[in-house]
Structure 1
Amino acid sequence: MFQGSSNFKAKNNTFIDEYTNTNNTTNITNIQNETHTYRKYRGIDMLLKASTPEALHDSSECNKPGCFEGTRDEYIRNITGWGRGDWKARQARVLWLEGPAGVGKSAVAQTCAQDMGTRLGATFFFSRHNGWNKPTKFLPTIVYQLTTKYPAYRDYIDAIVLRDPLILEKSI
C-alpha cells in the first residue's frame, strides 16, 4: 500500500493492519500524529495539576486518625457549629485552628471534617513530614475543591486560570 511513498500526510484516517500468514515488511518513517482535544475546563485541569490532592482530609494518603470518642468534644462542637453557622462567632469567615505540635489539631480537624460531610467547603492538611507544606499549593488545592462543589464557581475560576495560567505560581 505504501511502497515507494515518501513525504505524505494522512489526516483523519484509521489504519487497520490485517494479515493472514503473510510476511510483508513495510518501513514507515516520519509519520506525524496530530491530535487536538478540546476539553471544557482546561483551566480547572491546570488547577488540579497545581494542587496537592494528598492533603485533603479524605485522601487515601492523608488518612489522619480522628479524635477518640468523648475527647475534645467542646472543640468539635464549636468548630462544627461555626461550620453550620449556629455558633456565637459565626460572623468570622475563616476559622483558624492553632496550637503547639502534638496537641491534636489534626485529629480535631479530621473529626470535624468528617462530621461536616457535604457542608464542608474544602480542607488542606499541612504536613512537613509529607511535603504538604508549600504555600503555593494551598490555594490551588482549596480552590479546586470549591470548583467541584459549585458549578458557577467552576466556570468563573476556569476563565481566570485560562486568562492567566501564571496565577497558579503567584504568592498568596
Structure 2
Amino acid sequence: MEQDTEQRRTRKSWRELWITGDDGSYEDFIELLPAFVRVKNNLLRCTMNHVDRDEDCLAANFHEMRCIVTKCASQRCAAFGNTCGCHYKILACEEVDFKSVFVQETHAMTDGAPDSPINPKLTDEMKTYILAKLDDSPSMVPQLLFAFLCREVQQNRMHGPRAKLRRAISPEGHYTKKFRFLRMSDFK
C-alpha cells in the first residue's frame, strides 16, 4: 500500500517524440519504435494544439481525439528480467490528420525548469482581439485565447508588451507548458 502511494506521488512526465509535420510519416515513425502493446484506447475531448496549425475553428470547438497508451513489449527489455517502465502515448485528432507521439521515461523532469511568468500584461490591441474571439466562441478557455495571442505576436500581426523575464519553450514540454514557457522574442 505504501509503495502504491509513493508511485502516485512521483508521476512521470511525458516527452514529445514526434508530431505531424516532423520528418517522415506517422506509420514510418511507429515502425521504428520497439515492440509495444496497447493498454488503453480512449476517445476523449481533443486537447491538441490546433492553434499552431492555424486551425482556429477546431481549436475553438469541441471535437474528439483518440488517446492510445501503450507499454513496452520489447524482447530487448524483457531480456533484463525487470518490467520495462517505458510507455508511449499516441494522440490522434479525429477531425484532421494531426497526431503526436509521447514517451514516458523512468526518470523525473529536472528541477532546473524555468518559472512561469509572474504578471503578464495585455495591450489594448490584445484585449480587443480577445473580446472578438470570445464573441465568436463564448466558451473558449483562457489557455486557448493565450495561444491565439501568441500566434498573432509570433507572426507579427500584433505586438505585445516587452517581457521582463527570460523564458524558454521546453522541447520536451507538454501542450500546456508551451503556453507557460515562451521565448522573449515572441513578445517584441
Give the structure-2-normalised TM-score: 0.20
Higher relative contact order (Cα pairs below 8 Å, separated by 6+ residues)? 1
Bigger helix share: 1
Bigger strand share: 2
Give the structure-1-normalised TM-score: 0.22
Give the structure with higher Rg (CA): 1
